[in-house]
Amino acid sequence: MGEVEYCNHTNPRCPKDGRFQYNVAVAFDSDGFLVAKYRKYHLYGENDHYNFPEKQEFATFDTPFGRIGLFVCFDSLFKYPAVEMVEKYNITTLALPTWWFNEMPFLVAHEYQQSIAIGLNVNLLAANTNDPDLGSSGSGIYNGKKGALVYSYNEKQTASLLIATLSINAHDETAVCEPKVTKYHINVGYYGYEATNNSQLSEYYKAPPLDPKTFKSVKLSKSTDNITLCKEEVCCSLNYSIDEIELKKAHTYFFGVGNGIRSDEVAQWCEEMCVLYAFSEKLNSYAIKNASKFKHFKMNATFTTKYSFPSLLTNSLKLIPANLWFFNKNGNNSSMETKRDVLLISSGLYGRCYHKDPPFKTN
């Protein structure tokens, strides 16, 4: 929501109209009292009508079910505030209102939301705008390394209310919660499944993707192989097994490594990547349907950062449940491995080298 703060000429930052306008996330307690307010710091395309906060701030509040921290949309790509709240302020749950524009192969909303929850081992409640025409869809409730308890992704403009029971602290792997679901007349998801199943996705990805030329990549040409690729300080390895008929079924699969400073009109950030993806060379597009079945799959990454975020997608950009694969981190090394055969559209380890990020422009 928007917030107005009036100012005068004694403040050198005061706009000419005598008011600051901020994009804020707010939280209310059960009695309706305001308990937390966070002003979005990393604006993305809205700084023509919102102002940057004067300083970074942390918005947390305590509840009977743990400590919750607020952040907004594009903030999720940066160390501040979410990562710092988890590491310094004993946050057990992050709450993320967002209007996210999906991007294959790492930054599809529900894919990236789950990767944050697993990578930081924290609960995440994420509510995204559902506007498929703008490439915006994907919300969910995520329980740390257990991944999505419920999520939605739909190419139709329908609303979903997602409800799930989850452990207070994602680090407590012994906690067992009885699945509890409330369903309303709108589309409501339930444990272990996508919330809606009426999506009419096309065969190839339509929202603006990350250019495949970003990666140093090789085509998978054997049914079983070990591949290692390096680009400067980043190295990726892939061990996989797939039936020959599956390898040639519909799409071409590529394995790639990438690193560098991403630049667009709004911001710059450092990213390091290991990725396996299905691609249509004929249409020059990421594929999102007709996945091939991999009998075994293991990916390893050596980054310059300890912040690694894993993801695996299957047909129609559905999440591969986190209980079907392992994710491990040890310093700057990370890996993920499937426990059984899976239909795989894309998978990756996304490293965020926060220490190399250029300063974020706030003017």
- Rounded-to-integer distance, Cα 211 and Cα 285, Å: 9
Nearest Cα to 104, choosing from 252, 330, 279, 269? 279
Rounded mean pLDDT, 167-185: 67
Whole-number pLDDT of residue 179: 62
Go through 151-189 and write b for each residue having 16 or more CB atoms within 10 A of its CB, e for each that does not: bbbbbeebebbbbbebbbbbeeeeeeeeeeeeeeeebbb
Contacts of 234 (CB under 8 A, 6+ apart): 257, 258, 259, 272, 273, 274, 301, 302, 303, 304, 351
Q: What was the pLDDT predicted at 131? A: 79
- The sign of the CA dihedral 288, 292, 296, 297 is negative
**Residue 363: per-residue pLDDT:** 72
Neighbours of 213 (CB within 10 A): 9
What is residue 186's predicted lDDT score, i.e. its pLDDT? 53
* Mean pLDDT of the chain, nearest integer: 89
pLDDT at 79: 97
Eight-class DSSP state of 336: E
For residue 197, the model assigns a pLDDT of: 41
pLDDT average, residue stretch 256-275: 94
β-pairing verdict for 216-219 and 252-263: antiparallel
- Of 269, 271, 267, 270, nearest to 363 by C-alpha is 267
268: left (phi over 0), alpha (psi -120 to 50) or beta: beta
pLDDT value of position 196: 45
Give just the sign of the alpha carbon dihedral 19, 20, 24, 29. negative
Q: Could you tell me which residue, 183 or 325, shows the higher pLDDT?
A: 325
What token pair was written down for 84?
Answer: 């710092």
**pLDDT over 70 percentage in the chain:** 90
pLDDT confidence tier of residue 157, bands split at 50, 70 and 90: low
| Confidence band, pLDDT 50/70/90 cuts, at residue 192 | very low
Residue 9 CB neighbour total at 10 angstroms: 8
- Tens of pLDDT, residue by residue over 199-242, are 445 554 455 678 888 899 999 999 999 999 999 999 999 999 99
Say whether pLDDT at 302 is over 90: yes
Range 82-89 average pLDDT: 96
* Average of per-residue pLDDT across 269-294: 91
| Local structure of 11: helix, strand or coil | coil
Q: Decide if 341 contacts 117 (C-beta within 8 A).
A: no
pLDDT in tens, 11-47: 999 999 999 999 999 999 999 999 999 999 999 989 8
Among candidate residues 356, 343, 344, 355, the one with its CA nearest the CA of residue 105? 344
Q: In the chain, how many H helices and how many E strands?
A: 3, 21
Supply angle C-alpha 187, 193, 194, rounded to 5.
50
Q: Which of 55-59, 80-84, 192-196, 340-344 has the weakest average pLDDT?
A: 192-196
Integer Cα distance of 203 and 198 in angstroms = 15
Q: Which of 55-64, 124-133, 171-180, 296-305 has the highest mean pLDDT?
A: 296-305
| Composition of the chain by helix, strand, coil, percent to 5 | 15, 40, 45
